[in-house]
Structures are given as structure tokens and as C-alpha cells.
A and B are shown apart, each in its own frame.
Chain A
Amino acid sequence: MRRTALLRSSTFRLTLAYLAVFGLSALVLLSFVYGASVTFMERQVMATIDAEVQGLREQYQTGGLAALARTIAFRAESDHNSGSVYVLFDTAGNVLAGNLDEPPAGRITDEGWLSFTRASDGKPVLAQAFLVDGRAHLLVGRTIEDKRDTQRLIRNAVFLGGAVMLVLGAAGGLVLSRWTLARLEAVNRTTTRIMGGDLGQRIAVKGGGDEFDELALNLNAMLERIEQLVAGMREVTDNVAHDLRTPLTRLRARIEVGLMGPLDPATARTVLEDTVNDAETLIATFDALLNIARAEAGEQRASWERVALREICRDVVDLYAPLAEDRHMTLVLRPGPDAAVAGNRHMLAQALANLVDNAIKYAPEGGRIEVGVGAGPPPVVEVADNGPGIPTHLRERALERFVRLAPDRTGPGNGLGLSLVKAVARLHGAALDLDDNRPGLVVRLRFQAPAGRILPSDGRPAEAIAAS
């Protein structure tokens, strides 16, 4: 795995983004803690100073400036390490009493808070200033190195913690990215192999039931479906090749043989006429395939209209009645109610015609074929005969393209009739059932239009039309 791929991986980027957000929030939190503790410490210092000032004020009120100077000298003397600062100096800057050698540099305000650095040891001092009697300045304060230490501590914590967090986060991100990349790589490798032509490949499933496993399972299911479709397609292609190649070979052979010897006009005519017939058969097969493909593509719904099922049944019965009669069969339309669906009447009529055609083809002499409409819902069209029927285990197969159950495959037909019926049924949202008519076969088209299918002509869904 290349490092750049690792750094560009979305997991790594997500980790970095998360790190940034986390770092920012930690920073905000720490600065709040810092601000709060610094303020608290400052307030404590101020309260201590205020208490001292209170004591000094009492001394001054009872004993005047001299008593104040004495007290300050005493306190400065007794306080070596607690960090208190006292200094009393006159307006000229001469220190009268206290533990500062000289007044702090800079302009001294008469009254109020100030902070400065103690010259002797460089410690920061917070102090309150007073003007006493208009003759002397008093500063009472405390060193605040505690505050500075806290500041430093927090700053160090921020820097050190941040660095650790950054290192750990980046490392974690890398590990995480490696892990997800590895899982995705497995998927990618398999898909690449599949694209290379090996449709049998499947993505490994770890079995933990996580989202990667779910993805792998779904992809595998999709591959399964695609493999089935491709296999079906291959079968169709093979069949097309066979069923078109045979007449094409015959056609070519006929012409070649015709060209071998001298051609008298009569023979030439026969050869050409037979050739035209062969071409016609080819075109018919081709057309049938195209019709199926078109119905399966299902892109014609824009031109759909309201189709009265009974009417097309009547027309198809009317169309096939003479043929049935010639074969001494009875072809009748059962009396019953009408029903309508949204669809293409030419395709529906063709599907029905194919069913009747098949029934006439396979029913015995003197047989009976009944066409019926059921109002439903769902609306049903059925064609029932009393011929040999189709055994249960062969019914699925009968619907496949180019499949002809008659073993000799020599009778008329191209094995596409029922395939077209199936395609038209699917296009119209109808289920196609082959059932036992005891004896014979009954084929049913049950129009179970899915809810919400819209009829473009007047906007009513098919079911509403079927019910009206």
C-alpha cells in the first residue's frame, strides 16, 4: 500500500478533521480554566491586600503617619518570605519605611491598583497605592509569582498535551486508514478481477456483520444477479446464433448450388423464390426477437391507452375462428363481464393471438379452446384448451426463448411465441400462469398493475380504470 494513498484516504482525512475539532475544543476549555483560575487568584491577592490596608488604616487613624511608618517597618521586618510588599515614601521618592529599597519605576498613581516588577528579585507585584496626608505615598501589595507559575503550567499543559494528542491522533488515523483501506482494497481487487472477465469471483466476508460485510454481501448478491443475467443472455445469443444460422446456411447453400451449373430461367426463378421465403422466415424470427426486446425494455408506456380486454379477445377469436374451424376445433369467447387495463392494444392482441395460435397448434383435432375475461380485480384473460398440456416441470422452460417442447422442432414456429407473451405480460405488470386444465393447458394473464402506475392519457392509474 503506498503511503500517499494512505495519506489521501478519506479515513485519514476524517481523522485529521476530527483532530482539529477536538484540539480546538480542548483549547477553548483550557483557556476557560486558565482565565477562571487566574481571576480567582487575583481576587484572593486583592482580598489579602485589602485586609492589610484595613489594619494599616486603623494604625494611621490612631497614631498618624509616624505610627503608620512604625507599623510598616515592623511588618516588613517580620515578613521575610510570605511575599507581602509594604513601602512608604515621600513625594520626592525617599523611602520612609518598608521592604522595598526604592519606589517602583514609573509614575505612581495617587490612589488605586497597580502592578510592577520588584527590582530586587524581579518578581511581579500587585499593589494598592494611597496618598497619605498629601505628603507620602503608601504601597501595599503582594508578589504574584503563583499566578505566573499557574500560567506557565497551563501553557505547558496545552503545548505538551496538544503535541501528544497530535501524534497519537495522527498515528491512530494512520492505523484506522490502513485498516479501512485494507478492507476496501479487498473489494477493489475482487472487482478488478471481475472486470477482467472472471464473473465467478466473490468478495470475502469477514463474518463480523459490520458495514463492510454488509457491503460485501450486497455486492455479492448483485454479482449473483448479473451472472445469472449474463448466463441468460449467453444462452439467448447461442440460440439466436443457432436459429438464425441454420436458415442462413440453408439460404446460402441454395444460392451456391444454384450458381454451380448453368441456370435456366425456370430454375433460377425457383431458387430465388425459395431464397425470398428463407429471408422472410429470417426476418420474422428477427422481428419476433425485436418485439420481445422492445417489450422487455418497457419504454413504450408513453403511448399507452385504455384497452378493453373483452374487445381484443373478441377480435382475436374472430381472427382465429376460421383456422380453428378448418381443424375441426371449437374456438369460443366465454360470456362474461368486460375489464379494461392500461396498455398497448397491438401488443396485448399479439400476445393473445400467440396463445390462441399455440392452442390451435397443439390441441387435438376436434378440441375445444375457450378464451375468457375475468373482471377481477385483478382483471384476468385466459386461454384454455383440452390438448396435451405441459407437464408441471416443463412450464418454466416453455416460456424461455427459442424453447420448443415438441421434440422434433420441425413444425411451424420459432419458439418465441410464449417468450413474447411473457415479455408483454411483464411490460403490462401482469403475471403469466401456466396451469393444468384437466385435461389440457390454461394460460392466464393476471393484471396486477402495481399501485400508482399512471396512465398518461387521463392520469388515472391503471387499477382505477380496471375497476371502472
Chain B
Amino acid sequence: MNPGAPDLRELYQEVIFDHNRKPRNYRPMADANRHADGHNPLCGDQLTVYLHIEDEIVRDVSFVGQGCAISTASASLMTEAVKGKPVAEVEALFQDFHTLLTSTAPERDFGKLAALSGVREFPARVKCATLAWHTLHNAIIGAQDPARTE
């Protein structure tokens, strides 16, 4: 590794490669009751997030789309992190996750999501890691316009 540059190993951790190669919950959802599109026009990343919400709980979540390793892995890790959680908790997690990527890490156990904290040293890539989350948020609130991180 180049000692003069931000550490690529922090950005491209094995869990990122794993979820990029084999994204979890990568499928359209026939019985989704919420969905939203996300698009990063600058780099062309786009995805659709599907939700099945019952009693204010995320019973099922999935996504389809295309993007870089960071955005694909982030979407995959997100689906694992939010499935089964109350909607309010998901929204709070999004806020904390965003803070994790952009400033000081909040006190909380991020589980596998912590693998994305290396993005902090690569500001140009924060939008890749948050596209799926912005799209999830839009699906939850029923926003009509596609989520954008540019």
C-alpha cells in the first residue's frame, strides 16, 4: 500500500468485496408495499429499494440495480441491517450511519455496517455508500422523486 495515500484496505475491506460479489436480498419484491428509486447521476449508480412494512416494522427489504463496489455492498449490508427492525429505529440508524461516514462515530454497535466507516477517508465516495440509505428513506416516507446523492 502507498503510505502517502488514504488506506485502501480501510475502504475495500473483505466484507465489502463479499457483499459486492454476492449481494444479499438482491431481488425485486412482488408484495412490496413501498419502493423507491435512487440515482447518482454523476457516476451512473442506480438502484431500486423494495420494502414490505407491517405494523411499522420492516418485515422484508430488497434491492436491485447497478453501481460501484461501495454502493452495491452498502445496499446489501443495509438490507441485512434493517430487516425486522421498527421503522423509527431504521431511520435513527440511517442518521447514525451517515454521521459514521462523515464525522465522529456515534456510540452504537454498527455491526457489519462498520465496514463502511473507511469511506470517511474518501469523501468523494460518501455518496456511493449512502445512496441506498437515502433511497430506503424515500421509500419509507413515500417520496415521489428518485433519491439523489448529487
User: Are both chains from one complex?
Assistant: no
